[in-house]
Each structure stands twice: as structure tokens, then as C-alpha cells.
Structure 1
Amino acid sequence: MSSTAVSTPLNISKPWLGGFITSLLFLIVCLSWGTTWLGIKIAVESVPPLTAAGLRFLIAFPLFLGFAVLRKEPLLFPRQSRWFFVFVTLSYFSLPYYLLNYGEMHVSSGLTALLFSGMPVFILIFSAVFLREKIHSAQMFGIAIGFGSLFMIIRSQGLHLDQAEWLGVLAILSAAIMHALCYVVTKKHGSAISVITYNTLPIGIAGLMLLVVGLVFESPAFTSITTRSWGALLYLGLVASVGGFIVYFILLKRLSPVLLSFVFIIFPVFAVIIGAWYEGTEISRDLMLYSATLLAGFAITKLPVKR
């Protein structure tokens, strides 16, 4: 996605203050994305997955629309990219977020974050396939370490014993793969589209479609939705979707893409700790070891290499 849509009005005269603000924004993104998974977990406690995804996006849509109007950004994709608009709406917003919600009905929020943290690695693989970008030996080594550790995490958590949990794992990995594919296709066909245009109408239409399909197939009882789940949906729509988005693209103006990409390595740590606290589970020594190895492997794939 293009990063030209969000400007940084912060002109800090004192270098130390600028560094402090950048570090604070980085922490905010890590916390925002790290708590997203717990928010999803709480939301689907009393809201079916399709309906939950639709409500989340419909809560976020007015704010995105307001940003688009204030910044005078076009709402429609270029005419020659209308197919790409449909692709983004379906493969970035609609189906993946339903899969994430479904997956979190069966998998812990911390494990969900660890599974999804492999998304940048899938980007690397798809970039090699579709963009003919070379994968270097160090990156291959990191991929092998990461996915080997991921297998050990799943095995150590005993998910092989439960079919529903396996389906949850597959749903989350499928969402990560679809997001990765969408990023690569965006790099090839949508780099000229502003970030706000990229998000606004797709998130609104995806929200409406998901809610309608949820009303038809899930028949949610809105009177049974708990205050906790409504609070989680508001948090996901206003803070995680909109707030995290804004801060992330502000940081794109202040940090190198490689450094900023380590958000994907750090936020799972927050997610595992916060999820274990909420769910009252102990983080085992094996899980800590395999998680650290997993994130280290994925971090290797993101280190700059000599061309």
C-alpha cells in the first residue's frame, strides 16, 4: 500500500523528543495490534464470527470516511482498477477477518497472534513467485526456523488432539496467507492508490456484506450480546482498526520499512502475555522457547541483505 496518504505534522526541534515520540508511537502500534487478538476473542464470546467481523468494520467505516472527506481523498479506485477493488474487499477484509474470528473461537488469542505473525514470511514467498524477487539463503534459513518452531508450538499445545482446534489453526493460517497475497498483489497493481482510498470503501462494503450474510446464516440474537463483547467490538473498530492504522502510517514516515516491519515480531509477544493473563493459563517453558525461536526465525527473514 502507498504510504502517501497520512502525513506527519510533527516537526520536532529537539532530537531526543522526536526519538521519544517515535518510540512511543511504535509502542502504541505494538500494544494496539497485540491486544487486537484478545479483542477478537472477547467479541466472539457472544457474537457469531460473520456478524462480529461485519459490526467491527461498520463501526470503523464512518471514521475512515471522515478522514477521506477531510483529506479530500477519492473514495473510488481508478477505473482500470475496479477488479482490484473487488479483490481487496473480498481477500483482504471480508474472508480473512471471518476466518480470524472463526479461528479464535477455537484457538487462544496468543497462539492466534503467533500463527498470524508468519504473514510477512508468506509475503516473501509470494513476492518470489509473483514478483520474481529473490529469496536469499539467510531468509530461507529464517523461514525454516520459523515454520519448524511453529510446528513445535502447535504440537506442544496439543492441538493435534482436537479437530475443532485444527480447523481454527487452518482458518488463521489461511487468513495470514490471504493477507500476504493481497499485499503482494497490491505492490504490483495498487501502489499508486492512497492508503485511505484503499481502506475506506472496501472496509465499509465488507462490513455490510459480512453483517448481511451473518444475519442470514447466523441469525444472531442482539439482545444476547454482552456488554463485554460490545466493548470489544468498539475497541476493534475504533482503536485497533482506525487508531492502529493511523499511527502505523505516521511511523512509515519516521522509520525505515525494515525497522517498522519488526512490529510483526513484537506484537505477538504482547498478545501471548495478555492472552495468557486474560484466559488464566500459564505460559509453559516450551511455549516460551518455541515462540522465541519462531520470532527469531521470522526476524532473520526481515534483516536487510546485500543485493
Structure 2
Amino acid sequence: MAIATAIGKAGQLRKQWLARLATTLLFLTVCLSWGTTWLGIQIAVETVPPLTASGLRFLIAFPLFVTFALIRSESILFPRRHLGFFVFITLCYFGLPYYLLNYGETHVSSGLTALVFSCMPVFILIFSALFLRERIYWSQAAGITIGFGSLLMILRSQGLSLEHDGFAGVLAILAAALMHALCYVVTKQKGAEISVVTFNTLPIGLAGLMLFLVGLGIEQPEYAEISARSWWALIYLGLFASVGGFIVYFFLLKRLSPVILSFVFIIFPVFAVIVGAWYEGLPVSGDLAFYSILLLAGFAITKLPVEKLLARLASPA
């Protein structure tokens, strides 16, 4: 009897260990997928104009999102009372921000783009304080100061000035991060009951179509001049970075706390900097490495307010 119990416990521990290992590997998969997104965008916009590249990426991803919705038997239509919210998400989460990111990467390296966009969770914190009256702790304020101070030093070390095209690219990326953060906060207010599948599927399809058509009229892309590398990058962005990353992230939402999962935004820039430096064949300078670590450490502090943790430790069990 004792032997059978011991064997059963050993089997249960083995299953728990395998489940934790699978979760860890999937977490790293999301970090790698989102970390390589920035290089994929940079390769895509080498020969595809920004509006067209954004539209094609979403049009490639849309059929798979629809398939995923069908498999899960979920509607792709927003409730009628959320029509305004649907338009807001389509334009301000998918449409404009992804064009701005693509435009930004025509002037800024993929690694720097990821570092700048990593400000997004901090903007969520600020918008939550403004619109949802959530508290910002002193340690979080210190983390914000450290993070943005480090970002300024990174931009300075990269030689970006007010007259430089790269500065316009940085502003575009920051604008995209701000819009994404605002969308997350508004979603918390008005769209919490909408499933993740519904939230993504139709907006990504309509945003892709609009971006593609606007690009067709304004940019007038020459498809014969698009390189094979750019096409492969668009396919990667549509199939793996968008759909694959989304599915795995959706899976992890059921198994990890939001705080732990939010550290994806701290880790993926590390992958982006390393992969971008490898692709460009350039070493990561000491200044860039130091200020990048400081930036990510500052933003990590915003996710784990020291005062709140100490209060929990001090409270009786």
C-alpha cells in the first residue's frame, strides 16, 4: 500500500514538473516570438512601404484568426452596444500603431524599437492612475524615472538628435506604445467581457484591409520590386509572430498570473537587441548594454511595487 502511494506521488510530481517545464518553454516561446517581431518588421520594410507592410501582415494573419475562432466556436462580431469600442480598437490598437511601428523601423534599428516600445506597460500604469484612479507607489515612480532616464541616455548614445530622422522614428514608436497602453486601459473599462478571440479577429482583418487600401493609393507599391526576404518576413509576422504568439499568450493567460506574464514586455527587448545586432553584424556597445539593463530594471520595478510586497509580508498569515 505504501509503495503504491509513493509511486502515485512520484507520478503526480513528475506530471507537475512536466507541466511547469512546458509552461516555461511556452513563456520563452512568446518572448522569442515577440522579440523577433521587430527584426521581421525591419526586414519587411526594406522593400515594402510601411502602410502596405502593415496591411499585408494582418491580411496574412486574418484567415488563421478566423479559423481559430471557428475551432473555439466563438463569434468574431462585437456586441452591438460596443460598436464604438470596436471602431476604437480597430483604429487605435491595430491600424495606426502598427503603421507607426513600421514607419519607425524605417529610421530606427529593430533592437532600439523594442527598447522604446517596452515603455508601453509604464504608460498603462500612468493611464490607469489617470482614468481608473489606481495608485502609483513611490517605488513605481522611481522605476519610471530610472527607465525613461535610461531611454534618454540610450537615444543619446545612439546619436539621435532633434534634427535626425531617427528621432521622428522614435516619436512614432512612442506614439504607438501610448496608443496601445490607452487601448489596454479602455478595454479594462469597457471591454472586459469580450473574449480575446473576438477582440482580435475582425479588427485585425479590417485594419489590414484599410492599411492595404490606403497604402495602395498613397504608397503605390511596386510588388515586382519586393524582395523574397521581405515576403518571408511578412509571412513570418502574419503566421508566427501574430497568430502563433497570440495563441501561446492566450494559453499562458490561463496558467500564469498577469504580473508574471507581463514580464514578457521586459524580456522580449533583450531578444530583440541580441537578434538585431546579430542580423546587422554589429556588436552591442557597452553603453547600450548598460543603459538597456538599467531601462528594463526600472520598468521591472514598476511591475513589483516594493511597498505593496512589504505590506503583504508584514500582514499576518
Q: Establish whether TM, by shorter chain, passes 0.5.
A: yes
Is 1:38 paired with 2:39? Answer: yes
Is 1:189 paired with 2:175? Answer: no
Q: Which residue number corresponds to residue 288 of structure 1?
A: 289
Equivalent position SS for 1:193: coil
The structural deviation recorded for 1:71 is 1.5
Q: Which residue number corresponds to residue 91 of structure 1?
A: 92
Native 8 Å contact 1:47 1:220 kept in 2: yes
Instruction: Tell me the TM-score normalized by structure 1.
Output: 0.95
For residues 205 and 79 of structure 1, the distance between their equivalents in structure 2, rounded to whole angstroms, comes to 17
For residues 162 and 97 of structure 1, the distance between their equivalents in structure 2, rounded to whole angstroms, comes to 24
Q: Pairwise mapping of residues 8-157 of structure 1 onto structure 2 (< 5 A)?
A: 14-157=15-158
Letter in 2 for 1:195: V
For residues 14 and 109 of structure 1, the distance between their equivalents in structure 2, rounded to whole angstroms, comes to 39
The structural deviation recorded for 1:161 is 6.6
Q: Which residue number corresponds to residue 7 of structure 1?
A: none
How has the CA–CA distance of structure 1 residues 161 and 182 changed in structure 2, closer, same or farther, with 3 Å as cutoff? closer
Is 1:298 paired with 2:299? Answer: yes
For residues 29 and 48 of structure 1, the distance between their equivalents in structure 2, rounded to whole angstroms, comes to 27
How has the CA–CA distance of structure 1 residues 288 and 194 changed in structure 2, closer, same or farther, with 3 Å as cutoff? same
Unaligned runs of 5+ in 1: 1-10
Deviates more, 1:211-220 or 1:281-290: 281-290
Native 8 Å contact 1:12 1:18 kept in 2: no
How has the CA–CA distance of structure 1 residues 12 and 193 changed in structure 2, closer, same or farther, with 3 Å as cutoff? farther
Letter in 1 for 2:71: L
The structural deviation recorded for 1:255 is 1.0
For residues 187 and 12 of structure 1, the distance between their equivalents in structure 2, rounded to whole angstroms, comes to 37
Letter in 2 for 1:33: W
Q: Which residue number corresponds to residue 228 of structure 1?
A: 229
For residues 229 and 162 of structure 1, the distance between their equivalents in structure 2, rounded to whole angstroms, comes to 29
CA deviation string 1:239-280 (max 9, x = no partner): 000000010111111111111111100000000010011012
Instruction: Tell me the TM-score normalized by structure 2.
Output: 0.92
CA RMSD of aligned residues (A): 1.3
Deviates more, 1:63-72 or 1:145-154: 63-72
Q: Which residue number corresponds to residue 3 of structure 1?
A: none
For residues 70 and 29 of structure 1, the distance between their equivalents in structure 2, rounded to whole angstroms, comes to 22
Unaligned runs of 5+ in 2: 1-11, 312-317
CA deviation string 1:107-132 (max 9, x = no partner): 00000000000100000000001111
The structural deviation recorded for 1:162 is 4.8
For residues 20 and 197 of structure 2, the distance between their equivalents in structure 1, rounded to whole angstroms, comes to 26
**How many residues are treated as equivalent by the alignment?**
297
For residues 95 and 124 of structure 2, the distance between their equivalents in structure 1, rounded to whole angstroms, comes to 19
For residues 129 and 264 of structure 1, the distance between their equivalents in structure 2, rounded to whole angstroms, comes to 22
Large movers: runs of 4+ above 6 Å = none
Letter in 1 for 2:106: M
Q: Which has the larger radius of gyration?
A: 2
Q: Which residue number corresponds to residue 214 of structure 2?
A: 213
The structural deviation recorded for 1:12 is 9.6
The structural deviation recorded for 1:163 is 2.3
For residues 84 and 13 of structure 1, the distance between their equivalents in structure 2, rounded to whole angstroms, comes to 45
Q: Which residue number corresponds to residue 269 of structure 1?
A: 270
CA deviation string 1:59-100 (max 9, x = no partner): 000000111122221121111100000000000000000000
For residues 278 and 157 of structure 1, the distance between their equivalents in structure 2, rounded to whole angstroms, comes to 18
Equivalent position SS for 2:221: coil
Equivalent position SS for 1:47: coil
Deviates more, 1:210-219 or 1:74-83: 74-83
Is 1:260 paired with 2:261? Answer: yes
Deviates more, 1:62-71 or 1:229-238: 62-71
How has the CA–CA distance of structure 1 residues 291 and 72 changed in structure 2, closer, same or farther, with 3 Å as cutoff? same
